[in-house]
Amino acid sequence: MKNIRNFCIIAHIDHGKSTLADRLLEYTNTVSGKDLQDQVLDDMDLERERGITIKSHAIQMTYQHDGETFILNLIDTPGHVDFSYEVSRSIAACEGALLIVDASQGIQAQTISNLYMAIDNDLEIIPVVNKVDLDSAKPEEVEDQIVDLLGCKHEDIIRASGKTGVGVPEILEAIVNRIPAPSGNPEKPLQALIFDSVFNPFRGIIAYFKIVNGSIRKGDFVKFVNTEKQYYAEEIGVLKLNLSPRDELSAGNVGYIISGIKTSKEVKVGDTITHVSNPCESAIEGFQEVKPMVFAGVYPIETEDFENLRSSLEKLQLNDASLTFQPESSAALGFGFRCGFLGLLHMEIIQERLAREFNMDVITTVPNVSYKVYDKKGNVAEVHNPSGLPDPTLIEHIEEPYIRASIISTADFIGPIMTLCLGKRGELVKQEFISGNRVELVFDIPLGEIVIDFYDKLKSISKGYASFDYHIHDFRESKLVKLDILLNGESVDALSTLTHVDNAVTFGRRMCEKLKDLIPRQQFDIAIQAAIGAKIIARETVKAVRKDVTAKCYGGDISRKRKLLEKQKQGKKRMKQIGSVEVPQKAFLAVLKLD
């Protein structure tokens, strides 16, 4: 056990984690020949196309050092704030972490947030300055920032380049010398923590675990503590580039188990595996429960696909434990699911994965957040969906979630960033210079305000330099109203939103204008209205496609033309009574891009 090292790689987006992981795999000959490609561990097409890591990936390497063979278990983690739950799970399975900082960009918001998560879990941190081969690299300046942040010595920091392979031997040596071996007892009863799982259509569910105490052999009769299900370990092994079977794994190791589980509800990430005959005394403290930030309805385009969508979401949840969902129905869209996501990028990725991996075409409604509604009797209800709001006369007040946002940028962009945050009803908590020209601004902002287009705007006003990280802070009382969108007098529940009183009129007006462009013209006029309660605050009309019925009427008395027009008017009126308006998928997403 003394020769095992478990470590993960943490960094901000685009600081070169996956490229550096490639060099480590190449140097230890874990991957060679035709398997060697850029971002080896990003095996999803979506990850390669977007150049981001979405899933944590575990892989085992062997490394020779001073005549001894060491087993290194590496977990590469995502850098985007929407996938921080993946990072927290990887950190729970490790004893050390490589903290990677880009030599040209320096420390950014996500670097700090991931670092605090690692320190809370008592991990040994190895700081690495990456991309030192770039012309714009400022390694001395970045090292000073790391020393200020970590309180380490300059000589503890390793300079490396994922592109050229500089510094890789030093990193591997530091992993062996600085990161402690896992502390566990192979003689105790089995105790293994599940940190991830995937669905394989041929083998069932494959669970990835880290053994804390005890050992497991092929064919053992094991049980999952939380779900209380019992299985035979048909195959166990370690995670090389592919699954690599073993006969026995003992404490400190990271591996996988296949036991022919077919239903996804039976495996929970954070559960403990133990032997049926000699169980452990208590389950391992799992991860914190995931708290979804953004809620949106996901509906199948064809109603009969409802059950397929359910099984697709369950399989996706196995692989992405931060997705939560429950059934709901909508008057406009039929039966579907109310899904909870960690952020907008997460929502976009899930939608894309449903389409690619399960061939599910879905409609996603306008995203919103959860609110606490207090009624006049003093009861509290949590509302995720504007249509679930009680009658306004019964509501005492509504509280909305506020986030504590940390924005790190160069001093040149303080003005525009302040304007943006204050325009989103933000309150400045503090502003401090970190080092040189870099400033950290801390704001309290309502979560509902940043859900739609905040991140894009922040990136564009700061020319891509500002980095952004947040966590839920508290709930505060706000004057919120429910804004309904009516089409020909019928409310479309999928388009209704909760918004602040001050923004309601402009938001309603912009919604109507946008929908007017997107809703196709029918044979009759369509009135698009925005309403708060019974009060209409904005209106647009989509004009009817008219046939020129008087074209065949040449010359003669005007009354002949009028007679034909009257006849047409009667027909239009009758059509309007039975005509339903088709709302295209683009209209539901229009709200996201109102500017």
Positions at the binding site for GTP: 14-19, 130-133
The residue among 346, 352, 355 whose CA lies nearest residue 324 is 346
Q: What is the 3-state secondary structure (H, E, C) of 369-403?
A: CCEEEEECCCCEEEECCHHHCCCHHHEEEEEEEEE
Give the Cα separation of 413 and 463 in Å (integer): 9
Question: What DSSP element (H or E) covers 535?
Answer: strand 535-542
Residue type, 582: E
| Amino acid identity for residue 276 in this structure | V
Question: How many angstroms separate the most distant Cα atoms in the chain?
Answer: 109
Q: How many residues does the chain have?
A: 595
Which residue is listed with tokens 């704030």? 81
Return the beta strands (E) in 411-534 as ranges: 427-435, 438-446, 467-478, 480-487, 490-491, 497-500, 526-532
Answer left, alpha or beta for residue 513, where phi above 0 means left and psi between -120 and 50 means alpha: alpha
Pairing mode, strands 334-341 and 294-300: antiparallel
For residue 503, the tally of other CB atoms under 10 A from its CB is: 18
Closest CA to 298 of 245, 375, 352, 222: 352
Give the integer Cα–Cα distance in Å for 21 and 564.
76
Residue 104 one-letter amino acid? S
**What six digits make up the tokens of 570?**
């009667």
> For residue 296, with 0-12 CB atoms within 10 Å meaning exposed, 13-18 middle and 19 or more buried, which class applies?
buried
Nearest Cα to Cα of residue 98 among 34, 157, 161:
157
**How do the residues of the chain divide into helix, strand and coil, expressed in percent and rounded to 5?**
30, 35, 35
Distance CA 466, CA 463 (A): 8
- Is residue 222 within 8 Å of 276, Cβ to Cβ? yes
Burial (CB count <10 Å: 0-12, 13-18, 19+), residue 22: buried
Residue 131 has a CB neighbour count (10 Å cut-off) of 25
